Structure 1
Amino acid sequence: MPTTVVRDKTLPMRHIVHVRNHIISTDLSAEEGGSDAGPSPHDLYDAALSACKALTVLWYAKRKGMPLEDVQVSTQRDDSEERKGVYRLAATLHLTGELTVAQREELLAVAAKCPVHKLMTAVTTEVTTVLG
């Protein structure tokens, strides 16, 4: 099923993203001419990495019977060299539960193998754009 983006003409730049039965508002900041009525496309890109890491770690811990109570991921963006071809994301895992040091390290390694991390770092993504 495709992801579809439709303009919301009630605001200057806002669009609505449709993914299956879910909707997400996306917009640009006021400085960029938007109304900041939702995360920007860059924010969504960064969020995809954070969400993937969190879900992957939780899935793995449940599968292995680890006592992980909660996982949170915060990701910091450094786009200062994006125009030069370098976009940096620094993700920090916050794990709670009675985990051993070895389990914490194992979950850290698992987070680095989440599918979106792999897509961003180890896969060539080919994008085509056509008129419909």
Structure 2
Amino acid sequence: MTITVTRDTSGPMRHIVSVGRHRLTVDEPPDVGGEDAGPNPHDLYDAALGACKALTLVWYARRKGIPLDAVEIEVERDASHERDGHYRLSTRLTLGGPLDEAQRAQLLAVAARCPVHKLMTQVSTEIETTLKNG
């Protein structure tokens, strides 16, 4: 799947991200020249982690017959040392349903193994950037 990011001239920094049939506005906050019309790229990165944990928990609970009724994931960023090569994300899970302590512990362990968590912490990513003719 190709994700396309296209300039939206209705704002000074605004872009539209196209993922399949889905569209999402991205922007920057006013202090860096945007209008805050959507999340910025760091927000999307952080949100991917929270979304993956939530979806993984629901998938796992359904598969194992665990009575998980509600999931809320909070992701908090500490980018204060990003320029030094250290980016910290903290996640907090709120799980709803008639769960016992063993199920809660099991779901916590599963959340730490979601694919995006693994991608962010265990995989070396290579990025190639080229110019396209046209």
Structure 2 residue aligned with 1:119: 119
Which structure 2 residues correspond to residues 9-28 of structure 1 after superposition, within 5 A? 9-28=9-28
Percent identity over the alignment is: 60
Q: How far apart, in 1, do the equivalents of 2:46 and 2:40 lie?
A: 10
For the residues of structure 2 that align with 1:118 and 1:48, how far apart are their CA atoms? 12
Q: Displacement of 1:90 after TM fit?
A: 0.1
TM-score (norm 1): 0.99
Q: Please state how far the C-alpha of 1:35 moved relative to its aligned partner.
A: 0.4
Structure 1 moving runs of 4+ over 4 Å: none
- Aligned residue in 1 for 2:32: 32
Q: How does 1:1-132 map to 2 (within 5 A)?
A: 1-132=1-132
Per the TM alignment, residue 6 of structure 1 is displaced from its structure 2 partner at its CA by 0.3
Gap regions ≥5 residues in structure 1: none
Q: CA deviation at 1:55?
A: 0.2
Gapped regions of structure 2 (runs ≥ 5): none
For 1:18 and 1:80, how far apart are their aligned partners in 2?
30
TM-score where L is the length of structure 2: 0.98
> Cα deviations across residues 45-86 of structure 1 (Å, max 9, x unaligned)?
000000000000010001000010001100000000000000
Which string of whole-angstrom CA distances, capped at 9 and with x for unpartnered residues, describes residues 12-65 of structure 1?
000000000000100000001000000000000000000000000010001000
Shift in Å, 1:129: 0.3
1:119 alignment partner AA? L
SS at match of 1:9: coil
Supply the RMSD in Å over aligned alpha carbons: 0.4
Write the distance in 1 (CA, Å) between the matches of 2:97 and 2:49: 23
Give the aligned residue type for 1:122: Q
User: For the residues of structure 1 that align with 2:63 and 2:72, how far apart are their CA atoms?
Assistant: 18
Deviations 1:86-106, CA, capped at 9 Å, x for gaps: 000000011000001000000
